[in-house]
Structure 1
Amino acid sequence: MTDTNQTEARGTPLVSPLSASLGFADIITEIGAGAAAREREHRLPHEEIASLKARGFGALRLPADAGGHGATLGELFVVARDVAAADSNVAHAFRNHLWQVEAALGHREHPFHAHVIELTGQRKTVGLSFTETDAVAAGARPSKVLTRLEWDEIRQAYIGSGDKVYATGNLYNDAFVGVAVESRDGRTVQYVLERSEGVSDHDDWQGFGQRLTSSGTATFRGVAVPPAHVYPPDPPRPDEAAPWGFTFHQVYLTNCIAGIARRVALDAVEVLRARGRNFYHGEADHPTGEPVLQALLGRIRAYAASVEAIADRAVAALQRAADARGTSDEYRATLAATFAAAEAKVVIDDLAPQIANWLIDLGSGSVVSRASALDRHWRNIKVIASHNPRLYKERLLGQNALSGQLPPTGAFF
């Protein structure tokens, strides 16, 4: 048996063969090696994200002649899961950009989306500056980001201001997109705003997990948007088009959790090997020979593999929906992907925290030190899972089975 087969026989490695073939293996491995230290020190992964951008992670889906890797949607999720296994904060920080690229690829003839593709091909990432609601503040009302773009004759540019809370990844992004009303004609427009004076980000996210995603507040104060970067809105979708256009978001987050589950399984092996002594009432001299611990390690491995398989099912359904875009099969395939995403979330949101719990059981008191930062896995899973709670997914799945109820069409389901 070769060394390669030995490695494969011991479970899923951190980095997939696909990521290795695309040249990401060294970066992903390095990101994974420093994840616990960054968590302990609350050190934002600027360098790590910059390395991924420079290597073209944000441009995976672009064709080679546009500066990308020409990856399929399914391949994007493979690499993204590897990144999440290394550090889920890093993978999560790219979600809004990757969704924006996906939207642009579907409408690349529109100048707004062409601009996004151009920036992405330059190895830049694009964040969001859409409407946000600050649900933390008592009695808060929805707040608009750059609600209006006021024309400035002297600067010959539009000027806008606003705040965006929960601006995931914006601290790491090079540009931002959104919609606003421009003052001269009162039209609703789309804009692309590159990072400049007047744009600032605050690492004030108070979540107990995913602490390094830069999900704090992004502020825009008197920022200038050149008229060449203000565009008409997208044309209305045809009546026959599938109305579920935001399944990517949910599958991406579930895919991140699958990556964490893989990391838990890998860490579990190291935790058991590192234990120096067994309990006096155990049956082996060393924990690695303890039958109950071997069985728990096997359970962690099996459940983590199952989580990845369920995520793969949702990714495959999303790939089929992407392949069907613009065809007579689009509606059916997109609806199927939405249900597959909901089914995956319901199961994975239940299983993944339990897998992280078992890691602590496996290591016992030897792994509860903050130095190991192993508690981050459970915390990160729960925070990612809190996006669009599974309770509503469960109800929909039951309603659909009983009466054919269709999913909501908004972005936050």
Structure 2
Amino acid sequence: MTETSITESTETASGTGTTGSAFATAAARYRPIFARIAAGALDRERNRTLPTEQIGWLKDAGFGAVRIPVELGGDGLTWPELTTLLIELAAADSNLPQALRAHIALVEENLVRRRRGEDRGVWLERFAAGQLAGNAWTEPGAGGTATILEDTPSGPTLTGRKYYTTGTIFADWIDVTARRPDGTDVSVVIATTTPGVRTDDDWDGFGQRLTGSGTTEFTAAAVDPANVSPFADRFPYQTALYQHLLLVALAGIGRAVVVDAAEQVRRRTRVFGHGNADLVRDDAQILAVVGEISAQAYAAEATTLRAAHSLQAAFAATGGAREREAVVATELETGQAQIVLSRLVPEAAGALFDALGASSTSQSRALDRHWRNARTVATHNPFIYKARIVGDREVNGTEPPLIWTIGEADADRRAARDRQPTVVG
């Protein structure tokens, strides 16, 4: 898919696409870095080498500040503009946008709170200076949160264990969900260098293996009280934003599949005796397979860019019914997109092998990484639940849940489940 087609799809959706000077300046700075990242992606995959150096390139170039206004040291990009660049980064290496997912969300949190009139200068200065944030939300505790923020004579401390702490191993800060002993849910931001904080690269999934999605433990780690806030005060479209960045990863994988499919077919010299041409690149059936992959990737990108406009609308809306409507809209749109892309992109990644022979399964080529990565991304925030939620909205007008957790069911919920009668059909 060409750069032009992405720009055109963005302009069609809103009339304000990626042709502004801010986007052009940012793209000129970051695209050469994306190319360097892409050049080593295959070797990193084969050797399971974390992209620490590559994230350092992005950090040094200021990529962590793309959403921050220009006057505060960032690029001032809109969500459609940022999405365009993130898809290009995901095509180079789909691990990187996911590794930056929590950072982008924490930047958004501070931008939204700034819009509300709060002084967020310290955090935005940190991010504009290149500091990055990671994530520590998920755990198997009852009710979803067992990590405790406790007040002590020397100040608050954090104790708990978090899984899937994506990007934290590369970060300067960690965005943590915790609970006070009285049951109040809070957000905590803590430096990765704080004594009592430990992150392990122990993610063993078969895809997206280089996102730094390991385990982080907090053992009586000291917390600055200024970096604690009620979880209920978080920006309201955060769930949609987190999901959107997974859509970005899927769209980027789709683009990478197109590139590899076209290149592999173009270079292939071995042909089957019952094929349709002397060269694979001239075989009508093979060309049709590549064309279908290209169309699937196009649909994935167009859908993701459409969702980006709903995120921008949620950011622009301030207070009252208008904000609520925009938040619900972006939650539904990212859910609809997830339902489609979670099937579409893995299908495209699998079709790659239909265009090639058995040699395409060689581990040295690692072409299977596209399917493994896409399927792994598709397991997040299960799309089967999103399908039910969207259907409930269409039929009954029910609002989607904007916040949810994952973990072991608490005792009351397990008891209620166990009391349900067994239906024998």
> Structure 1 length as normaliser, TM-score?
0.85
* 2:48–2:210 contact (8 Å) kept in structure 1: yes
Taking structure 1 as reference, are residues 333 and 159 closer, same or farther at Cα in structure 2, changes over 3 Å only?
closer
Q: Distance in 1 between matches of 2:404 and 2:185?
A: 19
Opposite residue 193 of structure 1, the aligned amino acid is I
Q: Distance in 2 between matches of 1:189 and 1:412?
A: 14
Aligned-CA RMSD value? 3.0
SS of the residue 1:123 aligns to: coil
- Show the counterpart of 1:224: 222
- Show the counterpart of 2:351: 358
2:133 maps to which of 126, 133, 150: 126
Q: Distance in 1 between matches of 2:395 and 2:232?
A: 36
After superposition, the C-alpha distances for 1:106-142 in whole angstroms (9 at most, x for unaligned) are 112446x544323212211112344x3238xxxx785
- Show the counterpart of 2:290: 297
After superposition, the C-alpha distances for 1:82-116 in whole angstroms (9 at most, x for unaligned) are 111111111100001101111111112446x5443
Output aligned runs, 1:141-220, within 5 Å: 142=144, 144-152=146-154, 158-178=156-176, 190-196=187-193, 197-220=195-218
Opposite residue 375 of structure 1, the aligned amino acid is D
Opposite residue 149 of structure 2, the aligned amino acid is T
1:330 maps to which of 315, 318, 323: 323
Q: Distance in 2 between matches of 1:150 and 1:287?
A: 70
Q: What is the CA distance between 1:150 and its match in structure 2?
A: 2.8
Opposite residue 59 of structure 2, the aligned amino acid is K
Output aligned runs, 1:258-269, within 5 Å: 258-269=251-262
Which consecutive residues of structure 2, in runs of 5 or more, have no partner in the other structure? Answer: 8-17, 407-425
Output aligned runs, 1:400-411, within 5 Å: 400-411=393-404
Q: Does 1:44 align with 2:47?
A: no
Q: What is the CA distance between 1:39 and its match in structure 2?
A: 0.7
Opposite residue 119 of structure 1, the aligned amino acid is R
Higher helix residue share: 2
Q: Distance in 1 between matches of 2:186 and 2:403?
A: 20
- Show the counterpart of 1:61: 67
Q: Distance in 2 between matches of 1:314 and 1:34?
A: 30
Q: What is the CA distance between 1:374 and its match in structure 2?
A: 0.9
Taking structure 1 as reference, are residues 225 and 337 closer, same or farther at Cα in structure 2, changes over 3 Å only?
closer
SS of the residue 2:357 aligns to: helix
- Show the counterpart of 2:230: 233
Taking structure 1 as reference, are residues 11 and 96 closer, same or farther at Cα in structure 2, changes over 3 Å only?
closer
Q: What is the CA distance between 1:52 and its match in structure 2?
A: 0.6
* 1:151–1:159 contact (8 Å) kept in structure 2: no
1:382 maps to which of 375, 380, 395: 375
* 1:169–1:213 contact (8 Å) kept in structure 2: yes
Q: Distance in 1 between matches of 2:246 and 2:2?
A: 28
- Show the counterpart of 1:3: none
Percent of pairs identical after alignment? 37
Q: Distance in 1 between matches of 2:317 and 2:145?
A: 36
- Show the counterpart of 1:74: 80
Q: What is the CA distance between 1:400 and its match in structure 2?
A: 2.0
Taking structure 1 as reference, are residues 406 and 44 closer, same or farther at Cα in structure 2, changes over 3 Å only?
same
Taking structure 1 as reference, are residues 187 and 375 closer, same or farther at Cα in structure 2, changes over 3 Å only?
closer
After superposition, the C-alpha distances for 1:362-389 in whole angstroms (9 at most, x for unaligned) are 1221210111111111111111111111
Q: What is the CA distance between 1:75 and its match in structure 2?
A: 1.4
* 1:149–1:180 contact (8 Å) kept in structure 2: no
Q: Distance in 2 between matches of 1:189 and 1:10?
A: 43
Opposite residue 329 of structure 1, the aligned amino acid is R
SS of the residue 1:98 aligns to: helix
* 2:331–2:402 contact (8 Å) kept in structure 1: no
Higher RCO structure (Cα 8 Å, ≥6 apart): 2
* 2:186–2:231 contact (8 Å) kept in structure 1: no
> Structure 2 length as normaliser, TM-score?
0.83
* 1:85–1:263 contact (8 Å) kept in structure 2: yes
Taking structure 1 as reference, are residues 327 and 61 closer, same or farther at Cα in structure 2, changes over 3 Å only?
farther
Q: Distance in 2 between matches of 1:164 and 1:7?
A: 40
Q: Distance in 2 between matches of 1:119 and 1:291?
A: 54
Q: What is the CA distance between 1:41 and its match in structure 2?
A: 0.1
Q: Distance in 2 between matches of 1:174 and 1:9?
A: 36
